[in-house]
Structure 1
Amino acid sequence: MLIVGDSLSAAYRLDTRQGWVALAEQQLRVEHPGFELINGSVSGETSAGGLARLPALLDKHGPDWVLIELGGNDGLRGFPLARLEANLSEMIELAQDAGADVALMQIRIPPNYGRRYTEGFEKLYPSISDSYDVPLLPFFIEEIALDSELMMDDGIHPNAEAQPLLADDMKDHILELLKH
């Protein structure tokens, strides 16, 4: 499974071995010895950046699954929702054309971007998921983000203590995807 995400999956300001992707892979390999989680995440990544990098990642790794965890940086920069929708849709199509199953993660942004933009942003993910009939995973840091003890001083990124919790949660979601 290829994870194409941003700093939330790239282990921002941590050793990548401490990040949820590496920790989840260790857990998943216990039950599925040949399983590999490929972390194609980059801090600061937008949907346009992920789209630009995706063809090379697909060629290099040939994943069975692609999990797209992108859009937060688009939202934080106030990018047009139509552009985000087009980029995520094209990523799904590219991954499917390469023979991979795709899952999309719901992303949330702070409410200070205005009600219309924030609501439109949140509704975009279920709409894309429905349009392409791909699983939609819940925003994985939702509960963690409410606990300042589990967040870095920037209030945006989960800290090292949060990573095992994220790994446990994501492991369960990934196992559910693998059943299908």
Structure 2
Amino acid sequence: MLNRFMTYGFCFAILQLLIACGPAAEENSAPIVGEQTASDNADEAVAEAKTLILAFGDSLYAGYGLAPNEGFAPELQKALNDAGQDVRVHNAGVSGDTTAAGLRRMDFVLDSLTKKPDLVLLGLGGNDLLRGLKPSDTRANMEAMVQKLSDRDIPVMLTGMLAPPNLGKEFSDQFNVIYPALARKYDVKLYPFFMDGVVGRSDLILPDGIHPNAQGIDVIVERIALDVELALKG
């Protein structure tokens, strides 16, 4: 699957994506006007559903540039509900988050929920690529988050990111093994590349040329929903 994305088109598109995912510095990640981020308080509706999924990531999860009901979390919830699953998907995506920023806020987000999640979708790492952070640091942060969730007995599904080839073969080789290696080590589910099916498709991207539009989100959800259902079954 990785070879499908190692092309010039992928490189250009993914670099644009990374720029969008990480405009804010780690120390100052205040949202821009109109930007969607994780809610400060837990969604009161989650307690009404049998199953709670926590979508913990960056702008790709947050629904950047979309109406509140068009982002990844609400569209995934709709797809799962339509499939007969009594599920709520809580949006904990924050634009600009690196893996380090995600690690810092994870305990707060988990503690703020009204119930323990039945599954956490964990999708971070794109902003680490943008900043040129060491793959070893990215891996350490991702592993620490997976370990936190494991310690709380919360199942995890990783949604991976891929390094663009212009960063060099050595860097790419070190980065691209992070998600598969953690999935194997902790026996968690893996969706290799979150933007599969959308990268390079201008008709599925917002006018900014970067983020998925509503149709792009539909493609992502269509591709990932079955994996999420399987992850819920254990």
| TM-score, scaled to structure 2 | 0.72
Task: Provide the residue aligned with 1:32 in structure 2.
Answer: 85
**Map of 1:75 onto structure 2:** 129
Residues 174/110 of structure 1: CA separation in 2 closer, same or farther (3 Å cut):
same
Distance 1:132 1:38 in 2: 23
Preserved contact between residue 70 and residue 214 of structure 2 (Cα < 8 Å)? yes
Match status 1:126 vs 2:190: no
Q: What letter is aligned with 1:32?
A: Q
Aligned counterpart, 2:9: none
Once the two structures are TM-superposed, the CA of residue 78 in structure 1 deviates from its matched residue by 0.6
Which residue of the other structure, out of 77, 88, 99, is the alignment partner of 1:47? Answer: 99
1:156 aligns with 2:210: yes
Counterpart Cα distance in 1 of 2:122 and 2:218: 20
Cα distance between partner residues in 2 of 1:114 and 1:89 = 23
Q: Shift in Å at residue 153 of structure 1?
A: 4.4
Deviation of 1:96 (Å): 1.4
**Deviates most, 113-122 or 64-73:** 113-122
The letter of the residue matching 2:85 is: H
Count of residues in Structure 1 that have an aligned counterpart in Structure 2: 179
Structure with larger Rg:
2
> How far off is 1:126 after superposition?
1.0
Residue identity matched to 1:108: L
1:87 and 2:141 correspond:
yes
Query: Secondary structure of 2:146's partner?
Result: helix
Equivalent residue runs for 1:134-173 within 5 Å = 134-173=188-227
Q: Which moved more, 1:44-53 or 1:109-118?
A: 109-118
Question: Distance between the aligned counterparts of 1:154 and 1:113, measured in 2?
Answer: 24
SS of alignment partner, residue 140 of structure 1: coil
* Unaligned 5+ runs, structure 2: 1-52
Give the structure 2 partner of residue 110 of structure 1: 164
Q: Cα deviation per residue 1:61-108 (whole Å; 9 max; x = unaligned)?
A: 221211110001101211011111111011011111122111111211
**TM-score between the two structures when normalised by the length of structure 1:** 0.92
Please, what is the CA RMSD of the aligned residues?
Answer: 1.5
Gap runs ≥5 in structure 1? none
